[in-house]
């Protein structure tokens, strides 16, 4: 079927859902015939209409050949900010992923170029290749050039593992990680890949690129490759995307142990030491569209490792730290075959330090790999085949917040001293190669731009749009949303050393829940968009809370917490009031994952703006009690943090006493300066001495503080 007929079918389906009336406001009638002529005619585009504020100022028609961002119909159907029809009435339906793919193919295929024309566009001496990119249509602020909504590309795509099936959210034009009424379920989140004829050029990645980019080679997309005779003039294209993924964390663990290894070849090249099957598959639903790489749904995020249907274990030697390799060694496998959970033994630290026992191995279903394109019709003309790096990562507990956005915002705040222990970084700003050790040999260490975010190389980008552009909570699979400081890791890690040269998955924790536990508990240390559970555990002087979880998110109000733990609470001990916390030593997120107690629905509704407000509120609370340095902040811990909803009787009384009305969103804190730690009868808990308790309401330009029970006083907010 000709592409225009497929586009016409899409328009017919959506016309009655409010799309015809909406697009008629710009002069485009999607029910006009012939539709190709209608899509090609000049329009009077109204960029004051919600969702069209950041449509390219150079866009003048329904479809402009080769220019998705200048094609009004594609922008309307693909932009997550277009949700209202004529008269601000909600649109009744939205395009599926497959329909957006059809329309995108038409944009590139309405006037198919010849290979000679593409070479001329790239430059006579430029290197062309058949390259695979992860891609996403984004609002203006999220693009590389910040001028208008546009497609963004990267040769790295990040899908996320989960316990429930993939779900396309048509309104967001993306995928939802949430499962309604099942707070502990996590949907897998896929990544979309497409093949493009691309050009290799130096530098010019984006205004947020890395130092030295001008000397590095990057691949930039020129023309989308898809099946049929309408893709490239004179060719009938047949395209196939091939993917490979591997999780070899357990194999690498035993290789590193050398002579101390108790598993060796050929066993460590088999499952569970190396997992290659059942990790991801191409989306089969007709609503998804081509190129959707979907992690396989699993009942649990982690599982005990089995070899020949027997539990797999490893010997823990005395004092073993395994060269810094992060691995769960708190489940002792007894000779009887039973498993002893050492977290339930008060002497766990001593037992682990003494070693000489066998610990149970666990597996997870994170992985790394590649996606490459096979196209016989093009291979004779463009022999260079450029693969994409594909990551199957841990779940994202803040899907509406991105790493690059956090970095840019933090730089604008000009904090007097860094509030993160390690420098913020995004994966898209890393200049490391894909793993050259992966089967297939598709990556080399000299190819350092694989995670960069790029845009299509087109002449004349034009002026920037000026209207507002709403943010969206849509999860992203591009690497600017991922963390780029590998200590110990989140989405991916590196080959290590003082100067790592490539990305890899085998240096991540085994299972990944070990990384989650460390990163979240040391919230002030780990510079990424992750939960900050520092206050759930006994205070850590060098790692104070930076982004507080609310009392409901960490289980203090009786509901499900994000990590299955319960936050701090006031108790009486020996006739005095103390704070009771979970002992970090005996916490085990691998156990929580086995029990299905991790949850991203608890934290996942937090928007980028809300996340930033929490950081500022926590900073203001510290300043209010004189904790102006990180060292002083480490003397305090958070007992309670609440997003206040009016009417609130306590807030009303505080404002009345202080004679100040707080504006905007209001946060309540109860923080305490702590003293000695002690262990109660329940050794899995810690009691923390309270030296001073302070209450604060923080909102707008002021805060209200009640210190030493002196009553509520108003202060300007620093």
**Alpha-carbon distance 515 to 491, whole Å?**
10
**Alpha-carbon distance 621 to 642, whole Å?**
13
pLDDT at 461: 62
Q: Which residue has the tokens 């899908």?
A: 159
Element (H, E) at 362: strand 362-364
pLDDT at 686: 98
Helix locations, 414-527, DSSP H: 513-521
Helix locations, 141-233, DSSP H: none
Residue 712 · residue 657 · CB < 8 Å: yes
Task: Give the pair of three-digit tokens for residue 649.
Answer: 């009787």
Q: If the chain, 718 residues long, is cut into consecutive pieces of 10 residues, what is the mean pLDDT of each piece?
A: 96 98 98 98 96 95 97 98 95 98 98 96 94 96 92 98 97 96 96 98 73 91 97 97 98 91 94 98 93 98 97 93 88 95 96 96 98 96 97 95 90 83 87 97 96 84 68 87 79 89 95 92 75 94 93 93 96 96 96 96 92 95 94 96 96 96 97 98 97 97 93 94
Residue 479 · residue 426 · CB < 8 Å: yes
**Alpha-carbon distance 241 to 195, whole Å?**
8
Neighbours of 485 (CB within 10 A): 18
Task: Give the pair of three-digit tokens for residue 602.
Answer: 């608890």
First to last CA, the chain: 63
Of 159, 130, 158, nearest in space to 453 by CA? 158
pLDDT at 423: 80
Residue 663 · residue 701 · CB < 8 Å: yes
Q: Secondary structure of 54-102 in the HEC alphabet?
A: CCCCCCCECCECCEHHHEHHHHHHHCCCCCECHHHCECCCCCCHHHHHH
Of 62, 198, 230, nearest in space to 127 by CA? 198
pLDDT at 418: 78
pLDDT at 525: 62
pLDDT at 526: 66
């Amino acid at each position: 079927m000709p592409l225009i007929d497929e586009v016409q079918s899409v328009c017919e389906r959506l016309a009655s859902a409010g799309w015809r009336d909406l697009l008629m406001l710009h002069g485009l009638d999607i029910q006009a015939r012939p539709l190709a002529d209608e899509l090609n005619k000049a329009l009077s585009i109204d960029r004051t209409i919600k969702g069209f504020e950041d449509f390219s100022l150079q866009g003048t028609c329904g479809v402009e050949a080769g220019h998705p961002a200048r094609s009004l119909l594609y922008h309307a159907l693909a932009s997550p900010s277009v949700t209202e029809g004529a008269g601000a009435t909600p649109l009744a339906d939205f395009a599926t992923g497959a329909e957006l793919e059809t329309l995108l193919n038409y944009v590139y295929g309405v006037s198919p170029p010849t290979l000679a024309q593409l070479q001329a566009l790239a430059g006579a001496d430029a290197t062309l290749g058949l390259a695979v990119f992860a891609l996403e249509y984004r609002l203006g602020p999220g693009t590389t050039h910040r001028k208008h909504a546009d497609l963004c590309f990267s040769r790295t795509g990040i899908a996320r593992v989960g316990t429930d099936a993939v779900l396309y959210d048509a309104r967001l034009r993306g995928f939802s990680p949430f499962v309604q009424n099942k707070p502990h379920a996590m949907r897998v989140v896929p990544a979309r890949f497409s093949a493009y004829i691309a050009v290799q050029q130096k530098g010019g990645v984006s205004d947020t690129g890395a130092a030295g980019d001008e000397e590095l080679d990057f691949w930039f997309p020129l023309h989308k490759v898809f099946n049929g005779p309408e893709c490239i003039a004179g060719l009938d294209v047949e395209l196939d995307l091939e993917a490979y993924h591997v999780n070899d964390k357990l194999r690498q663990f035993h290789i590193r142990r050398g002579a101390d290894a108790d598993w060796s070849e050929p066993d460590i090249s088999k499952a569970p030491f190396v997992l290659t099957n059942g990790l991801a598959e191409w989306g089969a639903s007709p609503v998804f569209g081509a190129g959707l790489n979907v992690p396989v749904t699993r009942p649990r995020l982690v599982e005990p490792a089995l070899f020949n249907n027997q539990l797999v274990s490893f010997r823990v030697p005395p004092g073993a730290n395994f060269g810094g390799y992060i691995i769960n060694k708190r489940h002792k496998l007894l000779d009887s075959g039973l498993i002893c959970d050492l977290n339930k033994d008060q002497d766990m630290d001593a037992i682990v330090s003494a070693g000489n026992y066998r610990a149970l191995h666990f597996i997870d279903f994170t992985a790394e790999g590649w996606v490459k394109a096979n196209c016989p019709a093009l291979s004779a003309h463009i022999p260079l085949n450029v693969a994409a790096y594909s990551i199957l990562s841990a779940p994202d507990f803040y899907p509406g917040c991105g790493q690059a956005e956090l970095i840019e915002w933090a730089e604008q705040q000009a904090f007097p001293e860094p509030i993160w222990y390690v420098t913020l970084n995004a994966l898209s700003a890393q200049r490391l190669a894909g793993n050259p050790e992966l089967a297939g040999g598709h990556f080399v260490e000299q190819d350092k731009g694989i995670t960069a975010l790029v845009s299509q190389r087109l002449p004349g980008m034009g002026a920037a749009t000026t209207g507002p552009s709403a943010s969206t909570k849509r999860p992203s699979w591009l690497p600017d949303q991922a963390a780029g400081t590998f200590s110990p890791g989140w989405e991916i890690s590196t080959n290590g050393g003082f100067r790592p040269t490539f990305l890899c998955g085998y240096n991540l924790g085994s299972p990944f829940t070990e990384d989650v536990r460390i990163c979240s508990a040391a919230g002030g240390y780990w510079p990424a968009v992750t939960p900050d559970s520092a206050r759930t555990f006994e205070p850590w002087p060098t790692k104070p809370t930076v982004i507080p979880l609310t009392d409901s998110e960490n289980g203090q109000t009786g509901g499900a917490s994000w990590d299955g733990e319960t936050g701090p609470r006031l108790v009486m001990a020996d006739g005095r009031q103390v704070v009771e916390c979970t002992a970090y030593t005996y916490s085990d997120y691998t156990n929580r994952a086995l029990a299905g107690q991790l949850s991203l629905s608890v934290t996942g509704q937090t928007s980028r703006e809300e996340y930033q407000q929490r950081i500022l509120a926590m900073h203001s609370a510290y300043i209010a009690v004189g904790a102006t340095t990180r060292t002083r902040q480490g003397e305090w811990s958070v007992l309670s943090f609440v997003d206040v909803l009016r009417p609130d009787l306590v807030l009303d009384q505080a404002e009345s006493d202080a004679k100040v009305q707080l504006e905007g969103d209001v946060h309540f804190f109860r923080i305490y300066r702590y003293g000695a730690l002690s262990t109660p009868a329940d050794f899995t808990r810690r009691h923390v001495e309270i030296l001073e308790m302070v209450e604060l309401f923080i909102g707008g330009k002021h805060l209200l503080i009640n210190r030493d029970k002196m009553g509520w006083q108003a202060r300007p907010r620093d």
